[in-house]
Chain A
Amino acid sequence: MATKAFAMSQKFCDLQSPMEPDFVSAQHLTGTTVMAVQFDGGVVIGADSRTTSGAYVANRVTDKLTRITDKIYCCRSGSAADTQAIADIVAYHLSVHQLEIGEEPLVKTAAKIFQDLCYTNRDQMSAGIICAGWDRKEGGQVYCIPLGGMCLRQPVTIGGSGSTYIYGYVDAIYKPNMAQNACLEFTKNAISLAIQRDGSSGGVVRLASITEAGIERQTILHNDLPKFSVI
């Protein structure tokens, strides 16, 4: 991809100090595992907390669950810069929109704006986003907006490099109409499993549940994560 090629070329173009390690100049990526699940009354979102530049962990306590509005959040994976910029722009558009319509914006609207930005600029960006939240018309909703800029509503979705290791787990465990606490357990377990196997995911697990009452966040430190394997 264009951004990866650029990162690679940086290594070869550095005439000043050819012995410099790659992480000095490599772009920040949120390697990541992110996840969102819908339940009756809201959504649960979760993410790991590792940001890498090359092999260096630039931030081991990242917050990848970013506020767009009080009841709409996004889970960011891919380029940290790209996703932060997009989230800022979407949050701006929604705040103006909220003034115009006089009520809390719909999750669908946020997802549409994400999609517009991700699709129109697909060649310049590397951003995999999950947009999830609660609104009074449709309740809890999860929309995934992966690399090319498609937008799809799903009851559960996973993203980031670590997600590839947990597709089987998610497929096996997910049942429709799970309660809020079951969704929190499920998300925590899934992200923990991904952290075990993916080098680009790690740190703590950040969880949040968004309902009509707003957002409730929690952080689970690495030692408190569930242990699955003895090998």
Chain B
Amino acid sequence: MSSIGTGYDLSASQFSPDGRVFQVEYAQKAVENSGTVVAIRGKDGIVFGVEKLVMSKLYEKGSNKRIFHIDRHIGMAVAGLLADARQIADIAREEAANYRSDFGGPIPSAVLADRVSMYMHAYTLYSFVRPFGCSVVLSSYDEDGPHMHVIEPSGVAYGYYGCAIGKGKQAAKTEIEKIKMKEMSMHELVNEVARIVYTIHDEVKDKAFELELSWVGKGTEGLHQFIPAEVQEEAEKLAKKSLEDSDSDEDM
């Protein structure tokens, strides 16, 4: 990049001469340095898979989860600065609770995505705060089917059928584009998501990782849940196996 650090990147309240807000772009860099999130929307549900990089063997297994429950029917997976993401999760929970209290029902995830994106965008306007260094994926399932949205540090939100954010996102997107997700059931998706996360994980650069999996859909009656242990075990076994198979296919 040509114009890094040329004085227009000191605060989010400044444009550069070529119309960029550098602070927001730097926030997006923070997301790109984090472990990958793979999320796929199938026929009747959505599965999240998070490559949670483990920095030390001394960490307790299952700590610092990167998937959150927002109300009972919405899941949020995050990439980027985890502390920033926890703040977003808190805000999202508050919005969902207020919506219930004001309007007597669960918040549609498209409406929540709108509100979270407005909140994240607000932090890109001023010099006395910095943008959030995280992207979040929101998922839900209701009578109209599954819904998935991604909100970036800039505050833009898009709806997706399949998405990946984080360091392995390019490789993951290539994998995601190969599969016919619109016809796949939730169980099929779990195996695919697990396989993709294992495939894109870089054994050389990042050593250990924990795979976090969650789903929401018809099979969970619209509730967002972490995937049951047996299903997860099965998916990880298949994923490791497919890795070995593809390794052994390589020509030496």
Residue of B102, B108, B110, B114 touching A113 (CB-CB under 8 A): B102
State whether the Cβ of A175 lies closer than 8 Å to any Cβ in chain B. no
CB distance from A115 to the nearest CB of B (A): 8
State whether the Cβ of A101 lies closer than 8 Å to any Cβ in chain B. yes
CB distance from B56 to the nearest CB of A (A): 44
* Pair A101/B111 contact, Cβ less than 8 Å: yes
State whether the Cβ of B104 lies closer than 8 Å to any Cβ in chain A. yes
Residue of A nearest to B114 (CB): A100
State whether the Cβ of B105 lies closer than 8 Å to any Cβ in chain A. yes
* Pair B110/A102 contact, Cβ less than 8 Å: yes
* Pair A108/B111 contact, Cβ less than 8 Å: no
| Overall SS of chain B's interface | helix
Identify which of B103, B110, B114 gathers the most chain A CB atoms within 10 Å of its CB: B103
B residues in contact with A112, CB < 8 Å? 102-105
* Pair A109/B104 contact, Cβ less than 8 Å: yes
- Interface size of B in residues (CB-CB distance below 8 Å): 9
- Interface size of A in residues (CB-CB distance below 8 Å): 12
| Overall SS of chain A's interface | helix
State whether the Cβ of B244 lies closer than 8 Å to any Cβ in chain A. no
> What total of A-B pairs shows CB separation below 8 Å?
22
* Pair A108/B105 contact, Cβ less than 8 Å: yes
* Pair A108/B104 contact, Cβ less than 8 Å: yes
Instruction: Identify which of residues 22-56 in chain A touch chain B, using a CB-to-CB cut-off of 8 Å.
Output: none
Instruction: Identify which of residues 91-109 in chain B touch chain A, using a CB-to-CB cut-off of 8 Å.
Output: 102-105, 108
* Pair A97/B103 contact, Cβ less than 8 Å: yes
CB distance from A72 to the nearest CB of B (A): 13
Residue of A nearest to B143 (CB): A137
A 101-145 binary contact with B (CB < 8 Å = 1; else 0):
110001011011100100000000000000000000100000000
The 5 closest A-B pairs by CB, nearest first: A112-B104, A109-B103, A108-B104, A101-B111, A112-B103
- Using A97-B103, A112-B105 as known contacts, list a sample of 11 further A-B pairs with CB atoms less than 8 Å apart, ordered by residue number in A: A100-B114, A101-B110, A101-B111, A106-B105, A108-B104, A109-B103, A111-B104, A112-B102, A112-B104, A113-B102, A137-B143
